[in-house]
Every structure is written in structure tokens, then in C-alpha cells.
Chains A and B, each alone.
Chain A
Amino acid sequence: MQQAKPSPSPKKKIVPSDRPYPIVYLKDVKRIYTLGNNRIHALNGVSLSIKKGDFVTIMGSSGSGKSTLLNMIGCLDLPTSGKVKINNIDLSKLDDDGLTAIRRNNIGFIFQQFNLIPTLTAIENVEIPMIFNGQSSEKRRRKALSMLKRADLPLEFANHKPNEMSGGQQQRVAIARALANDPPILLADEPTGNLDTRTGNNIMELLKQLNASGTTVIVVTHDPKMEEYSNTSIRIQDGEIIK
């Protein structure tokens, strides 16, 4: 089984070819979970194509399958059937470390819960993805600082631990971390869900800015107001795209 799957070397950057292709491509993707005797169709034949530089919102109520869809794009989950291509790489051909390499170099994650490492300071949290990318400590430090600046975190917080920061500040650290390895795609799962409206809007503005500088941004949300930030909006219901 292994030898049929040529996986890219984990530390090597996967170089996209010159031919134009969608950065995210899903074809007839199904994801079925088995819970006891029940088979749950979380995704029921989703086809989707996202171009480089898009700002996409994926809308849907809870249980609609929008998080499952995001996990597929983020290489955290594999489809039961169908095809997923990220940056023109077919995920079905990759093993565990291959998927890790795609995540490391192509995707920045932003979570609703921020998901920072509690023992590490803000700047160290931003360094984490660069460690796994084999960067030297000096380079990491410099890059992490510039990413925190880019995410608008006041720099006096750089040496603070997550529990010493507000929710908005933590989310900025998380965004800086997501940007650390210069991924072409940013995935955000309800990034404003744990924030008040004003802070939430600031975060969305930040994502908008990042999108303007060329990063593809995909945001999963159930808040219809988020749609106004995006240029493409996808609505999902019962595991199928309805718009």
C-alpha cells in the first residue's frame, strides 16, 4: 500500500507548477461517519473549486457539514470517496507525513478556541510551525516578530503567555502563527465565535487585509454578516452545497 503513494519529503516545500489550477479543488466528496449502527453523511457529494486569492465564506447551521468540509480542505480529514486537491496535489495519494507536509507549507489554521500552547509565550507560539519547518532559531525569532506585527499584536505582549492576553489578542497570535510558514491558504473555523462584535470585526478586517496581499482565505461561519467580507460565499446544508 505504501509504495504506491509517493509522499513528498516532509521538510521540502511543495512547488506548484505554472499551469493555472484552482488552489482548492473538491470533486464529488463524500464523508460518512459510522457511529454505532448509524451512518452519518457529513458530506454528501460536494464539488468545489476555489481560485488563488479568493476570500470565501462557508455558511451553514451547526451540523450542516461545514466544519467537515473545512477539515477536508485543511488535510485534517480524508474523504470516504471523491477527490481533494490542494495546490494541485491529490491528497488521496499521501500518507500521514505527506498530509502533514501539505498542512505545514500550504495551510494556516485559525480556530474558534485560538488553540495556543499554554506553556509558550506569544512569540514562541508563532515560532512553533517554523520549528517543524526546520528554521534556525534566529530566523524564527525575527519572522515571528514580524508576523505578530502584521497581525497587529501590540509588541509588549510578545513575551506574554496566552492566559495573560485577551481573546482578541490571543486570536491575533493565532493568526500570526497561521502566517508563520507563508501558507497560500488561510483556513479559519468560526474565528470570531469567541470574540465580541467589535473585536470580531477587527479580526475580519485583518483577514481581509491578508487576503488583499494575495493569501487565499476560507472562513467557516454561521454568522451571515461575515459574508460581506468575502467575494465568494458558499452555503451548505445537510452535507450538500446549496449555493
Chain B
Amino acid sequence: MKMKDIFPSMPSMLKNNMYVELAKRNLKRQSVRTILAAIGIIIGVIAISSMGILGNSLKLSVTDSFADVGDRLVVSPAPGENQITERQVDQMRKVANIESIIPVSSSGEIIEYKKSGATIQSFVSVYSISKDDLEKLAELEEGRYFKAGSTDCVVGAGIASNLELTPGQKIELDGNKLRVVGILKEKGMGFDINTDSGVFTSQEMYNKLYPDAEEGYNTVIVIVKDIDNIDAVSDEIEERINKKEELVTVFAMNVITDSLDDVFRSISMFLIGIGSISLLVAGVSILNVMLMSTMERTKEIGIMKAVGASRKDILKMFLLEALFLGVIASTAGAILTISGSYLIMALIVKNTSYLLTLSSMFYVLEGFVFGIATSLVGGMYPAWKASRMKPLDALRYE
């Protein structure tokens, strides 16, 4: 028997609304039992969808920190090599499909600042980078970028907030005073350069700060035109430069984001697995409730059969009841999940943006669908059992 035969179509089912009416009344008849069974489904739906949302929000919050870096390669000197030379950078320029090449020199500096009376030391990275390249890597929060060749600098959000800097103030690095002309937007953790704790200045100023620094660069960031070409670009750079010996290491950022994706997918699956157990329990309780219903209504089933109900009719009646229970409970579960998660995120995390994404809503839909499916599966055996009852035996049942 096909599902199509049992549920011909929604319009005709609603037109023959006696089935719907019967299902409603039979569920109402044992309202306490119905509510208890519904609570089982509601908990199951909430468990599945909230676990899914939890996993998804974790994933989103971490991958967001790595956003926009998937199209980047970080080229650093191979172990044993100190610098990337200008010649190697020129070799990279010959590789096709590259959007831009950003050579960076960097050094570290300890700076001191006062916070509530105490002097705190903090580590900052000092970068030599061209103004144009910095624009590609980080956005300004306030102020402006430094001019080429100037002694001005732009600082990351972390340093600015620690030192309570505003554009126009000066900071001292190793005895040299630099004027802060711009403050960058907060960016979060990165694998290329740490903009939040960085001080960016021109090459001229950098050379003044570190007159003894070797020629060349510490890191070269390569932005590819098309993320699909990233592996090819990576291979070609290695081929060109590491022809004879290992001079540079090329590291693709998407490797990190991909493996993070995998990790969080596993976490999501694990959490949903836990949620599914509660739905399984709910399914068993539906099975139990419907079985009790068929037993109690044996005589009614006999009457229905005597007055002309076929097996299909009886099957339809009981499945519709299970479907009703499932739809109502799953809807309640979905609404509770969305409103509950919203409250939790708004009150505790103070950020609801991860909840209202398509991928989070997908888990709500998944919980909803699984809730209905569980009810239907739980109702299937009792419905089948009811449909197979012999009318004479059922009529005699007291």
C-alpha cells in the first residue's frame, strides 16, 4: 500500500473532515495521556534542534574569526632560512591567478602601559608594510592610513584599547616616537598577521627602527583571484622557488578552515546524536500511547469494520491521529526552541546573529521533521494492528 492511498491529498482530506474530527476527538478523549506523549516529542524536537543550533553556532563563531582568509596563502621562510628575498617575491609575481602579493617584515617589541595604577607590559608586533597593502588586509576604525615614507603608524584595535590611544597621540618604540594616525577595526585571531596587536608603519620608518634587520621579508601573504585555484597557485609557487632546495613553506589558509569545518561537523553530529536519543524515547512513548488507544478502542474498531470500514480506513484513522500528535508537538517544539535559544543567546551570549541564520534554522526544520516522522513511525505498528483486527473478535471485546 502506498502512502498516496492512505493520505490521498491534503484538500480531499480536509474536505472529508470527519477523519480529522475523529482524530481530534480521540486525542482529546485521553487528554492527559496525549499531552504526556506530546511532551515527549516536544522534548525530542527541542533536543535535536537546540543541539544542532549549539553546534552550528560554535562553528559559525569560530569560522567567523577566520573569515575572508580562505583565499590566502602564507609564504614563510623554510626551516633554516631567515628571510624571503626580493628575488623570490619576483618569482611569485610570475605565477598566474594571483590577486596581490603582500610582503611583510615584522619584529616584536615590548611596550608598557598603565592600567588602574599598575604598569603592564605587552607584546606588540611591528610590521613594515606598504599603505596600499595594509588597506587590503585591514579596515580602519578611525583616523587614516599612514602616508608612504612617513614616520606615522597605524595600530591594531587591541593596542589602541590597552593604551587608550586616539589618532594624533604618540607611542614610543625602542626610543623612537611614532604618531598614531589610524586605528584598525578589531579582526580576531588570524594566521597571517595579527592586526589586533600590530603596529604598522612604512618601510622607511621600519628601517629606522631596525637598522640591523636583514634585507628581505619575514612573511609574504598571497591573495589568489579565485579560491578554487588556491591549490594550483600554492603548488606553482613551491615549484618555482623550491626547485633545488626547500627555501619557502607555503601554507594555505583554507586547510585550517576546512579542518575546523570537519571538527565542528563532527561535534554537531555528536550533539544531534544525543538529541536523537530523546526523540527515540518519545517515539516509544507514542507507540505505547497508540497501542493503549487501539486496545481501548478495540470494540469501536469492530463497529467501524462492521459498518464498512476497510483496513485502509482504519489505518488512515490511526495514522492521522499519530500525525496530528506529531505535527502539534513538533510545532510546539520548534517554537520553543527558537524562542528559548533566542532568549539564551540574547541574555547570555548577547549576540543572536548566529541563531537567525539559515543553517541554524535548518536544524529547527530537521527537529520538526524528525518529530513528525517519529510520531508516524510510532503510530504505524498500532495502526497496522488495529487495521488487521477481525471485526467479530473486535465487536465481542469488552
Contact = CB atoms under 8 A, between A and B. Distances in A.
Given A77-B392, A117-B300, A181 B18 contact: no
B22 A119 contact: yes
A136 interface: yes
A129 interface: yes
Given A119-B26, A119-B29, A132-B313, A74 B306 contact: yes
Interface in B379-397: 391-392, 395
B17 A137 contact: yes
A131 B26 contact: no
A71 B309 CA distance: 17
Contacts, number: 76
B310 A100 contact: yes
Contacts of A66: none
B25 A119 contact: yes
Nearest to B302: A115
B25 A100 contact: no
Given A76-B395, A119-B25, A96 B307 contact: no
Given A76-B392, A115-B299, A120-B25, A100 B305 contact: yes
A128 B299 CA distance: 15
Contacts of A10: 310, 312
Contacts of B306: 74, 76, 103, 109, 115
Contacts of B116: none
B15 interface: yes
B345 interface: no
A128 B307 contact: yes
B303 interface: yes
B309 A100 contact: yes
Quick one: which of A76, A101, A116 has the most chain B CB within 10 A?
A76
B310 A97 contact: yes
Contact of A129 (B26, B308, B312): B308
Contact of A76 (B16, B19, B391): B391
Given A100-B310, A103-B308, A119-B22, A137 B15 contact: yes
B170 interface: no
Interface in A111-163: 111, 115-120, 124, 127-129, 131-133, 136-137, 140
A131 B392 CA distance: 21
A85 interface: no
A116 B300 CA distance: 8
B284 interface: no
Contacts of A71: 392
Contacts of A172: none
A74 B19 CA distance: 25
Contact of B304 (A96, A105, A128): A128
Contacts of B313: 131-132
A203 B257 CA distance: 83
A140 B29 CA distance: 24
B272 to A, nearest CB: 39
Contacts of A118: 300
A127 B22 CA distance: 12
A31 to B, nearest CB: 11
B311 interface: yes
Contacts of B312: 10, 97
Given A76-B395, A77-B392, A119-B29, A131 B16 contact: yes
A181 B308 contact: yes
Nearest to B18: A131
Nearest to A131: B18
A111 B306 CA distance: 11
Nearest to B24: A119
Contacts of A133: 308
A30 interface: no
Nearest to A124: B18
Interface string B19-36: 101100110010000000
A178 B299 CA distance: 17
A57 B308 CA distance: 24
Contacts of A109: 306-307
B305 to A, nearest CB: 7
25 contacts: A10-B310, A76-B306, A97-B310, A97-B311, A97-B312, A100-B305, A101-B310, A109-B307, A111-B395, A116-B303, A117-B300, A117-B304, A119-B25, A119-B29, A124-B21, A128-B307, A128-B309, A129-B307, A132-B304, A132-B308, A132-B309, A132-B313, A136-B15, A136-B16, A137-B18
A-B pairs, 9 with minimum CB distance: A104-B308, A119-B25, A132-B308, A129-B307, A76-B392, A100-B310, A115-B303, A132-B309, A131-B18
